[in-house]
Each structure stands twice: as C-alpha cells, then as structure tokens.
Chains A and B, each alone.
Chain A
C-alpha cells in the first residue's frame, strides 16, 4: 500500500532564508510524486510533480523538489522564502499503475518577516 510521511507538522523560517519541507514515501511500484499548497479557506494548488527523468524538478513560484530514490524522499525547497509562502503544504504519491493519490498529513510553513 502507498503511504506518505511529512515528519514535520510545522516549519518556521525567516524571510530570505532557504526553506525545506520534507516528504518521504512508500510504494510498491514506481512513484509519481506531487507537491500541493493550500492557503486558508482555499483548495489545494498544484506546485510540481516528478514522473520520470531529472531528479530535480522545478515548479511554480520558485519552488523545486528533489527526488531521491534510495532515500524514498521528495523534499520541497526554495532558495529564498517569502512571507507569502506561509501556507499548508502537502506531499502526495501515486503508483505508476494506480489511480489513487495518497496525501501526507501536511506541513504548515510559517515565514517570519
């Protein structure tokens, strides 16, 4: 069965500093990995995905994520955090021949001015 872990409930970072939101996954087959962001009282917005190819994936709003197969991780990163990046971030996984997305529990990112 698929599963996703986001080991940190909360991440605090100062504006202008780099940020990392961690995600590890477990699947039987090949993983398709996704990051979403949720602002208060809004739906989830797609940031980026890894399907195959280059392990470093670039997405919206300056975010990127690195796929590491040996560590079964897909950490979200941004070189310089903005206050407006403060939100709830979800990692999700789908097996290559599956239909269901499994979401992690979410990590709340707070960027402090």
Chain B
C-alpha cells in the first residue's frame, strides 16, 4: 500500500459528460502529480501541484483541469468526454517539490475511466 488513495476505482460514462477524479496523497506529501495511462500512449504526464499551486504542466487537454486543495487532496476534472479519453488515470505524490527534487513518486491504484 503506497498510502496514495484514488477514487473512484472504476467509472463508466458517456461521451460529452464530465467526471471528477479524486486523489489523497500520502500523509506529509505536498506534491501531487496526475498521469494518464492508455494502451497506445504509455504513461503521459498531465499536471503537477505543489502545496496548492500548479508547478508543472504536461500534455493536458484544455477540456481537463485540476486543482489541489488546502488539505492537499487533488481533483482532476475531465469534461466533454470523448471515446479517446478512456484510460487509467493515476495520481502520485512526492515529499518534495523544491529544487533539486530527488524524491520518488508514490502511485495510487488508479481510476479506470471508460467512455462509451
């Protein structure tokens, strides 16, 4: 058990809908990362937050947004869903967010999104 909690584990929805994925980082971790894992594109970095502020941005679509709340949990919002958004969405947390950052990531079990 990594200590990172993601909900829901599974989600099935229709095209055009909006969903919210939730992540609670390990106790004490200030940094949260979101990744998308699909069969044909591997593990893609979406976005990182550190102590409530956006720290780095990857290949995140404009239809997707995220935030980190004062209690450090994070939410990833996916809107106007398309079939191609079906994937596993992982949250990971890390102790540090400063420079240099030597900490490893601890991953949650993922949220599997299926868009029909």
Q: Which residues does A use to contact B, with CB under 8 Å?
A: 32, 34, 36, 42-46, 49, 51, 90, 94, 96-106
Contacts and interface: CB of A to CB of B under 8 A. Distances in A.
A86 B58 CA distance: 30
Nearest to A99: B56
Contacts, number: 57
Contacts of A105: 42
B99 A97 contact: yes
27 contacts: A32-B100, A32-B101, A32-B102, A34-B105, A36-B107, A42-B109, A42-B110, A43-B2, A43-B107, A43-B109, A43-B110, A44-B90, A44-B92, A46-B105, A49-B102, A51-B102, A96-B100, A99-B48, A99-B55, A99-B101, A100-B56, A101-B45, A103-B35, A103-B43, A103-B45, A104-B42, A105-B42
Contacts of B109: 42-43
Contacts of B92: 44
The 6 closest A-B pairs by CB, nearest first: A43-B107, A103-B43, A99-B56, A44-B107, A105-B42, A96-B100
